Amino acid sequence: MKFHKTLAIVMSALLVAAASHAALSQSTASASPADTPKRTAAATPDSKSADSKSAGSQSDKPYMVVDGTKVDQKTLMGWRTWRALACERCHGAAQEGLVGPPLVESLKRLTKQEFHDTIMNGRPEKGMPPFSASKMVNDNWEGLYAYLKGRSDGQIKPGHLYPLDSDKKK
Ligand code: HEC
């Protein structure tokens, strides 16, 4: 009888140990997504910006575009700045991302101020150079923002852009 009681105690101790081990390995497993690269987290669509996007009217947009390729002067200068500074070397010709993140996603999340600070100061420790020394960037950063916003909204096509009053088809 005494033996059985001891056995029962040992058994329940084992069960407790097994259960806590299971709980421990579970919490270790659930902690691993935190290790996924920041870029994946940044690319996750953020419902807040989606809401504000659908609420926004055409007049809220920082750019004007017709046929996906004809844009206002400011946006056109933004695109020229993009080309002149070769941002595509790191972010891709269609802003789809290379060593730098896909800006079509980033612009859904970044505020205009955050965008400004990022391109002016860069994030040198992460491979994004500062562009505050570029006159073209200083003169046209708002156009650059407008251009990338239009790309991010899917309103402006990748590739060559033309002035709004241009007769060019493509
Ligand atoms: C030498 C490569 C390189 C060049 C050239 C470059 N970038 Fe970047 N850029 C990066 C990297 C890498 C990051 C990511 C930094 C980080 O992890 O925070 C980045 C980040 C950014 C971000 C922030 C994105 C986000 O999701 O937070 C913006 C905006 C940006 N770059 C715009 C530009 C523009 C505009 C130009 C051209 C004027 C440019 N970059 C040129 C490498 C580059």
Q: What is the pLDDT of residues 49-91, one digit of tens each?
A: 444 444 444 458 999 999 999 999 999 999 999 999 999 999 9
Confidence of residue 154 (pLDDT cuts 50, 70, 90): very high
Residue 100 within a domain: yes
Same domain, 26 and 92: no
Counting ligand 1 atoms within 8 A of each CB, the residue from 90, 113, 138 with the most, and so the one to mutate, is 90
Mean pLDDT confidence for 22-44 = 43
**Can you tell me whether residue 129 is helix, strand or coil?**
coil
Residue 130 within a domain: yes
Same domain, 16 and 91: no
Same domain, 157 and 84: yes
Same domain, 89 and 157: yes
pLDDT of residue 30: 42
Q: Is residue 101 scored above 90 in pLDDT? A: yes
State how many domains the chain has: 2
Name the phi and psi angles at 128, rounded to 5.
Answer: -100, 115
Q: 13: domain range?
A: 2-35
Tracing tokens 């700045």 back to the chain, one arrives at: 81
Residue 91 within a domain: yes
- Strand runs (DSSP E) across the chain, as ranges? 65-66, 70-71, 162-163
Same domain, 17 and 62: no
Q: Is residue 93 scored above 90 in pLDDT? A: yes
User: Residue 37 Cα, ligand 1 centroid: separation in angstroms?
Assistant: 16
Residue 87 within a domain: yes
Same domain, 26 and 57: no
Angle at 161 between CA 70 and CA 127, to 5 degrees: 135
